[in-house]
Structure 1
Amino acid sequence: MDIDRIDRNILATLQKNNRVSNIVLAELVGLSPPACLKRVKRLREEGIIIGDVSIINPELAGSTMTLIVSVEMERDRADIYQVFRRSILKAPEVTQCYQISGSYDFMLVVTVKDILAYEQFVERVLHTDLNIRKFHTSVSLRTVKFTTAIDLEK
């Protein structure tokens, strides 16, 4: 995946506002509209742009609690990890899941409306997985920074 300065400018703009029209985007990055459209299409086809989403305020959607859950599996085996990953993909409360190194095997970001909803998630997802040795939950008190944009400077 080879991207140049113009591609970086396109990506930086789209990370801020992916609803910008192609005409405006082309003007911002110094291309003709057809050339700009062609580049955006290539960035999508090559998997550099992997999705377009609307980011919703969780509080307005009724989810007011964010919890960080660190999970340690019973054994270090690929089949156990695969089963866990599949269960997490089905859990709508989990907004992010990372397989990590260190003391824990996975780190989850869980968003729910209240502690009762979190307890229900724990019972349904974590307590039913016999391959989990332990998990640790931290409650987020405040969001200091949240972004989906990645730094494109090189």
Structure 2
Amino acid sequence: MSKKPFPRLLDEFDRAILRIVQKDNRMPQRQIAERVNLSAAAVQRRIAAMEKAKIIIGNSAVVDVHAVAMNITAMVEVYLKDERIDTVDNAKKLFRSAPEVQQCYYVTGGISFILIIVTSDMIAYEEITRRLFAQNDSVGSYRSLIALDRVKSGCEVIIH
């Protein structure tokens, strides 16, 4: 993810558009335009500008994990053996490339990373932990927390 400052300041119209597309990015632009009191062409230009400025960085579908038999959601605390730049960068690269890792955060507070992993069952989860953690010389230890229920999930950013 880019850490460059955004070259574009958001106004109230941009913020209103972002609030809408975060909830439903398939809503027709004419409907968005009606809701924010702009023309459809203006909404289209603003969305394109926010994509170009990397304010909007992608569009995706939210899938019910149970509908696709991905029944295990694990939050994993990963403790690296050290925090050297090459160790951290290699871990980021590995976690970023693992399709089972839905989210990955490099964090403070004594833990190196927090990962959200989704998989089909505990057998598959064990294979993932072996590959990502147990066979990884950079990982000192890890701790898994298995979700009992997905109470709320999503990635909507609160935009004021």
- Whether TM-score is above 0.5 comes out as yes
Long gaps (5+) in structure 1: none
Which of the residues 47, 52, 59 maps onto 1:45?
52
Q: Which residue of 1 aligns with 2:82?
A: 75
TM-score (norm 1): 0.96
Separation in 2, partners of 1:63, 1:8 = 34
Q: Which residue of 2 aligns with 1:150?
A: 157
Separation in 2, partners of 1:45, 1:90 = 25
Write out the 4+ residue segments of structure 1 that deviate beyond 4 Å after TM superposition. none
Long gaps (5+) in structure 2: 1-7
Q: Helix, strand or coil: the match of 2:54?
A: coil
Deviation at 1:147, TM superposition (A): 2.1
Q: Helix, strand or coil: the match of 2:118?
A: strand
Q: Helix, strand or coil: the match of 1:107?
A: strand
Separation in 2, partners of 1:93, 1:28 = 37
Asked whether the 8 Å contact 2:133–2:141 carries over to 1, the reply is: no
Q: Does 2:115 correspond to 1:137?
A: no
Root-mean-square deviation (CA, aligned residues, Å) is: 0.9
Q: Which residue of 1 aligns with 2:101?
A: 94
Q: What percentage of residue pairs aligned between the two structures are identical?
A: 28
Q: Does 2:111 correspond to 1:104?
A: yes
Separation in 1, partners of 2:52, 2:93 = 26
Q: How many residues align?
A: 153
